[in-house]
Amino acid sequence: MADTETPELTQLRDEIDRVNDSLLALLLERADLCRRVAEHKRDRGIPMMQQGRLDALRTKIREFADGHGTDPTYFEDVFDVIIAEACRLENEIIGSVDGQAPAALGSRARRIDHVAIAVRDMDEAVAMFAERYGFQVVERQKVEGEFSGMTMVTMQAGGVTFVLCEGDSPKSNVCQYIDQYGPGVQHVAIEVRDQPGVVEDLRERQADLLTGIISSPGLDQAFTRRNANTGMQLEFVTRTDNVGFNNVKELFTAMERENVY
Q: Is residue 1 part of a domain?
A: no
Domain that holds residue 126: 109-258
Task: Say yes or no: 188 and 126 in one domain.
Answer: yes
pLDDT number for residue 160: 94
pLDDT number for residue 233: 93
Over the chain, what is the mean pLDDT? 85
d(CA 116, CA 153): 10
Task: Say yes or no: 17 and 70 in one domain.
Answer: yes
Task: Say yes or no: 62 and 153 in one domain.
Answer: no
**Among 62, 77, 99, which residue terminates a domain?**
99
- Mark 215-226 as b/e (b = at least 16 C-beta within 10 Å): eeeebbbbbbbb
pLDDT number for residue 96: 53
Task: Say yes or no: 73 and 131 in one domain.
Answer: no
Q: Considering only CA atoms, which of 224, 227, 228 is closest in space to residue 251?
A: 224
Task: Say yes or no: 174 and 196 in one domain.
Answer: yes
Task: Say yes or no: 116 and 231 in one domain.
Answer: yes
Structural contact between residues 47 and 41, judged by C-beta atoms closer than 8 angstroms: yes
- Whichever domain contains 229, its CATH number is 3.10.180.10
**Among 40, 67, 99, which residue terminates a domain?**
99
Specify which residues 224 forms β-bridges with. Answer: 209
Q: Is residue 51 part of a domain?
A: yes
Structural contact between residues 227 and 146, judged by C-beta atoms closer than 8 angstroms: no
pLDDT digits (tens, 9 = 90+) for 99-138: 455 567 876 888 899 999 999 999 999 999 999 999 999 9
Q: Is the pTM for the entire model greater than 0.95?
A: no
d(CA 219, CA 201): 20
pLDDT number for residue 242: 44
Per-residue pLDDT tens digits of the chain, which is 261 residues long = 456 789 999 999 999 999 999 999 999 999 999 999 999 988 988 877 677 888 899 899 999 999 999 998 889 889 888 988 888 788 778 865 444 555 678 768 888 999 999 999 999 999 999 999 999 999 999 988 777 788 999 999 988 999 999 998 888 889 999 998 999 999 999 998 888 888 988 998 899 999 888 887 778 889 999 998 998 999 999 876 644 554 555 666 666 666 666
Task: Say yes or no: 186 and 61 in one domain.
Answer: no
Q: Is residue 2 part of a domain?
A: no
- Whichever domain contains 20, its CATH number is 1.20.59.10
Task: Say yes or no: 81 and 119 in one domain.
Answer: no
Q: Is residue 22 part of a domain?
A: yes
Total of domains in the chain: 2
pLDDT number for residue 1: 45
Q: Is residue 116 part of a domain?
A: yes
The one-letter amino acid code at 46 reads: I
pLDDT number for residue 149: 85
**Among 99, 131, 159, which residue terminates a domain?**
99
Q: Is residue 176 part of a domain?
A: yes
Q: Is residue 104 part of a domain?
A: no
User: CA 43 → CA 38, 88, 259, distances in Å?
Assistant: 9, 18, 50
Task: Say yes or no: 139 and 226 in one domain.
Answer: yes
d(CA 192, CA 8): 42
Task: Say yes or no: 195 and 94 in one domain.
Answer: no
User: CA 115 → CA 5, 111, 118, 137, 239, distances in Å?
Assistant: 42, 11, 10, 14, 15
pLDDT number for residue 173: 86
Question: Is the CA virtual torsion 177, 183, 188, 189 positive or negative?
Answer: positive
Task: Say yes or no: 113 and 89 in one domain.
Answer: no
pLDDT digits (tens, 9 = 90+) for 214-231: 887 778 889 999 998 998
DSSP 8-state assignment for residue 147:
T
Task: Say yes or no: 146 and 183 in one domain.
Answer: yes
